[in-house]
């Protein structure tokens, strides 16, 4: 069975990394138009507040009034996700 240990270990790590990826890294509640990723200044026009949630996977979601209105980025997958998880 030792021939499969590497595959089993990788799958175990991938499952852990997928769980980690869904965890919020930081939350910003703001009315700024100057976030580094923000290409939607209209969301905070006239002092309106939004909630931006950045996840370990690399995704950033923007919510307004409890509804997701935009998502930035692409989630990490496979080896890229494992690498980010192991180096976090």
pLDDT digits (tens, 9 = 90+) for 61-86: 999 999 999 999 998 999 999 999 99
Predicted TM-score (pTM) of the model is 0.82
| Cα angle value 42/53/30 (rounded, 5°) | 45
Query: Could you report the per-residue pLDDT of 10-41, keeping only the tens digit for each?
Result: 999 999 999 999 999 999 999 998 888 989 98
Beta-carbon contacts of residue 18 (< 8 Å; ≥ 6 apart): 81
């Amino acid at each position: 069975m030792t021939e499969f240990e590497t595959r089993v270990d990788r799958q175990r790590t991938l499952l852990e990394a997928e769980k980690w990826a869904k965890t919020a890294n930081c939350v910003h509640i703001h009315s700024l138009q100057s976030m580094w990723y923000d290409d939607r200044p209209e969301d905070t026009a006239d002092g309106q507040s939004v909630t931006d949630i950045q996840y370990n996977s690399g995704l950033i979601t923007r919510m307004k009034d409890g509804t997701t209105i935009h998502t930035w980025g692409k989630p990490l997958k496979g080896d890229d996700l494992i690498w980010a998880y192991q180096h976090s």
